């Protein structure tokens, strides 16, 4: 009898573990670094053989649904992949750093095929070796960034620029550092580094979809200067209140997109977006290689499997007719246009256009014409070794678009799931800022970043001048470094007194005003062509009682300057960046700020070997 019972139990257990008839349980645990016991936020946890998964939180904790006997796969680039068979409700995992995986990434940098799909990486406690020449940056293209200089308020009291919500530069920077290489300085756009992070700005009230806030404090890399942080926060819209979407996935399937960090990652990324589509949303898929074609007509978001199957069927090969693909995508977006809806093309590419319309000037002309259709553009950059960042920037800036660089599944989740509304739904377009400095308070000033977004002062009131867009719940940050009146010596931006006319033009009202500066903002509602104006005055109490957000954002700006070898670094170092950012971690629920600290540590090691 006992023997029969034992056989029965074994049979039942076999059925439970292989037949899939048992309900799944919730498995929880913590993922840590085996070398020091610290948590690994952002680790990808998947059930082997499935496409779904979760990410560990800022404390390394995860929770996933799985059946007894199934295998959990824990992935983090720079660490050995671990597999654990589910035997209970809790499984803690200690990940071991993998030098072999880092070496494998170096091979990719020289143009070889990677052997594994690399999910994401946060460096920790290692001193990466510098890559020898030739390195993969040699075949990538970046527009030249001419750093903003200090300007004298007496000569240029107005500073005008278009807002920028792109964060591609941060993801690209992380990719370089995770490969053990410093990024080219022109790959660093400091404003995009700062705007990668969310900040606790005041939400809009009343009819305006945006709100202006400002804060001043001591400049951390030059204590005799002041640092002004200007923040713009857009109105948040609940997911169930978002308008219906007409999406066109425009996918580069040329030969340069072959591999796990390119087309394979594109497919996985877009499946995450598809999972969040509603019945009223629609998706069409256009691909291009040597030519362009529609592989999926506009399909309801409720038919998710049909969309996933179309993505799974894609393969990479051939040349790159990007211009033809863009034209076809706009044609299909216009054909399925949803009035009062969200009409948007999502372009996934490495930017390596080489057939037909392909130069930056040709692409700019094409995209400026197409943007008049009312269709917006989101550009997701992928790949390494031949990445054409300059083309991405042209398309994003000229085509009512935004731009992100997707280097791993964690970034896909951030852009396409966590920040879905901010990425995909515009609440204000043609958003411009103009800052007027009070000559009685400020001698010179410098806008940090936004070099490609500068406008002439008269452009601020010109409604025909294109500017940036801001999505639901998104925030935009800009920093000014200012030299206050009273600072003596040969400070940046100072010029000799004029011989033939007075340089002192400070009016009586300026001398008596407590204002340091005034921020003016213009925007248009998505369905309007006439701008609306907002403004707020900013004073400076002269202290350094600033928020945690101010400290962290200032640390990111300082790091951007260090990587760019800025002429205005002052006393900036990676150690100062780490110390200041550490004071501004705040409620880092998703671990992005702690990841930043580890990236700075990696950069410090690389800079020490220069």
pLDDT digits (tens, 9 = 90+) for 142-183: 989 999 999 999 999 999 999 988 899 999 999 999 989 999
From 276, 533, 299, 552, select the one nearest 415 (Cα to Cα). 276
User: Could you give the 3-state DSSP secondary structure of residue 537?
Assistant: strand
Residue 199's SS3 state is coil
DSSP lists the bridge partners of residue 299 as 283
Residue with the two structure tokens 């996985």:
268
pLDDT of residue 2: 46
Q: Which residue has the tokens 């007509």?
A: 297
Sign of the CA dihedral 322, 328, 329, 334? positive
Per-residue pLDDT, 323: 78
Instruction: Compute the average pLDDT of residues 123-147.
Output: 57
Burial of 235 (0-12, 13-18, 19+ CB in 10 A): middle
Comparing 173-187, 217-231, 267-281, 375-389, which segment has the lowest mean pLDDT? 375-389
| Residue 165 burial (CB count, 10 A) | 25
Q: Which domains does the chain have, with CATH numbers?
A: 24-127 (2.60.40.1120), 151-237+427-488+509-608 (2.60.40.1230), 243-418 (3.40.50.410)
Phi-psi region of 486 (alpha: psi -120 to 50; beta: other; left: phi over 0): left
Half-sphere exposure of 193 (CA within 13 A, CB side): 28
Is the dihedral angle over the CA atoms 311, 315, 318, 319 positive or is it negative? Answer: positive
- The answer to whether residues 282 and 246 touch, using CB atoms and an 8 Å cutoff, is yes
Phi, psi of 272 (to 5 degrees): -65, -40
Contact between 188 and 137 under an 8 Å Cβ cutoff? The reply is no
Burial of 300 by CB count in 10 Å (0-12 exposed, 13-18 middle, 19+ buried)? middle
Q: Cβ(271)–Cβ(308) under 8 Å?
A: yes
Buried b (16+ CB within 10 A) or exposed e, 280-297: ebbbbbbbbbbebeeebe
C-alpha to C-alpha distance for 118 and 106, rounded to whole angstroms: 12
Structure tokens at 68: 């007894």
Global confidence as pTM: 0.78
Is 409 a residue whose pLDDT tops 70?
yes
H-only helix segments in 26-98? none
Distance CA 212, CA 482 (A): 19
Q: Which residues pair with 160 in a beta bridge?
A: 434
- Read off the pLDDT of residues 284-339 as tens digits, 9 standing for 90 and up: 999 988 778 999 999 999 999 999 999 999 988 876 667 788 889 999 999 999 99
Residue with tokens 């950069």: 603
Model confidence band, residue 16 (pLDDT cutoffs 50, 70, 90):
very low
pLDDT of res. 427: 93
- DSSP character string of 373-411: GS-EEEEEE--SSS-BHHHHHHHHHHTTEEEEE--SHHH
At 509, the pLDDT band (50, 70, 90 cuts) reads low
d(CA 397, CA 406): 18
Contact 78, 119 (CB under 8 A): no
Higher-confidence residue: 174 or 374? 174
pLDDT score, position 497: 80
Residue 456 confidence (pLDDT) above 80: yes
511: tokens are 């001398």
Give pLDDT, residue 21. Answer: 53
pLDDT at 60: 81
Once rounded to an integer, what is the mean pLDDT over residues 182-193? 96
Please compute the mean of the pLDDT values over residues 83-111 and round it to a whole number: 64
Nearest to 494 by CA among 437, 438, 445, 434: 445
For residue 552, pLDDT over 70 is answered with: yes
**pLDDT score, position 19:** 45
SS3 212: strand
Residue 1 burial (C-beta neighbours within 10 Å; 0-12, 13-18, 19+) = exposed
Q: What is the largest CA-CA distance in the chain?
A: 114
Mean pLDDT across the stretch 539-549?
93
CB neighbours of residue 351 within 10 Å: 26
């Amino acid at each position: 009898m006992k023997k029969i019972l034992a056989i029965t139990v074994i049979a039942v257990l076999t059925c439970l573990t292989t037949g899939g008839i048992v309900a799944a349980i919730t498995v929880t645990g913590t993922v840590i670094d085996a070398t020091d016991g610290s948590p690994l936020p952002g680790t990808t946890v998947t059930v082997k053989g499935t496409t779904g998964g979760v990410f560990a939180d800022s404390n390394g904790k995860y929770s996933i649904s799985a059946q007894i006997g199934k295998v959990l796969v824990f992935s983090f680039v720079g660490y050995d992949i671990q597999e654990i068979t589910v035997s209970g409700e809790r499984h803690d995992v200690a990940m071991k750093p993998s030098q072999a995986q880092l070496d494998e990434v170096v091979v990719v940098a020289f143009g070889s095929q990677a052997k594994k799909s690399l999910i994401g990486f946060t460096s920790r406690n290692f001193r990466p070796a510098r890559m020898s020449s030739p390195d993969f940056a040699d075949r990538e293209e970046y527009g030249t960034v001419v750093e903003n200089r200090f300007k004298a308020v007496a000569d240029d009291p107005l500073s005008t620029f278009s807002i920028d919500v792109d964060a591609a530069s941060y993801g690209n920077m992380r990719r370089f550092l995770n490969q053990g290489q410093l990024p080219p300085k022109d790959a660093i756009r400091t404003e995009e580094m700062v705007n990668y992070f969310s900040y606790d700005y005041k939400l809009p009230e009343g009819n305006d979809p945006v709100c202006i806030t400002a804060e001043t404090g001591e400049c951390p890399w030059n204590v005799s200067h002041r640092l002004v942080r200007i923040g713009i926060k857009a109105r948040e819209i609940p997911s169930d209140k978002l308008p219906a979407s007409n999406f066109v996935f425009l996918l580069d399937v040329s030969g340069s997109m072959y591999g796990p960090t390119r087309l394979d990652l594109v497919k996985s990324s877009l499946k995450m977006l598809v999972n969040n589509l509603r019945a009223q949303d629609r998706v069409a898929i256009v691909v291009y290689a040597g030519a362009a074609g529609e592989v999926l007509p506009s399909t309801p978001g409720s038919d998710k499997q049909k969309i996933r199957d179309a993505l799974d069927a894609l393969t990479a090969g051939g040349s790159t007719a990007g211009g033809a693909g863009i034209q076809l995508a706009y044609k299909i977006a216009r054909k399925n246009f949803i009035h009062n809806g969200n009409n948007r093309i999502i372009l996934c590419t490495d930017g390596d256009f080489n057939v037909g319309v392909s130069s930056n000037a040709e692409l700019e002309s094409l995209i400026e014409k197409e943007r008049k259709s009312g269709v917006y553009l989101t550009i997701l950059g992928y790949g390494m070794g031949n990445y054409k960042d300059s083309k991405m920037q042209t398309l994003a800036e000229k085509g009512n678009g935004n731009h992100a660089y997707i280097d791993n599944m964690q970034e896909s989740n951030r852009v396409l799931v966590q920040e879905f509304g901010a990425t995909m739904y515009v609440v204000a377009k043609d958003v411009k800022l103009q800052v007027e400095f009070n000559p009685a308070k400020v001698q010179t000033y410098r806008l940090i970043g936004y070099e490609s977004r500068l406008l002439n002062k008269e452009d601020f009131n010109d409604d025909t001048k294109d500017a940036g867009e801001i999505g639901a719940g998104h925030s935009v940050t800009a920093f000014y470094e200012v030299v206050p009146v009273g600072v003596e010596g040969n400070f940046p931006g100072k010029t000799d007194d004029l011989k033939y006319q007075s340089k002192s033009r400070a009016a009586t009202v300026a001398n008596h005003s407590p204002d340091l500066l005034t921020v003016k903002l213009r925007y248009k509602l998505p369905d309007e062509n006439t701008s609306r104006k907002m403004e707020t005055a900013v004073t400076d109490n002269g202290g350094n009682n600033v928020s945690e957000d101010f400290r962290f954002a200032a640390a990111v700006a300082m790091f951007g300057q260090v990587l760019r070898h800025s002429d205005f670094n002052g006393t900036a170092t990676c150690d100062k960046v780490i110390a200041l950012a550490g004071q501004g971690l705040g409620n880092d629920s998703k671990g992005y700020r702690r990841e930043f600290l580890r990236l700075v540590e990696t950069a410090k090691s690389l800079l020490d070997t220069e």
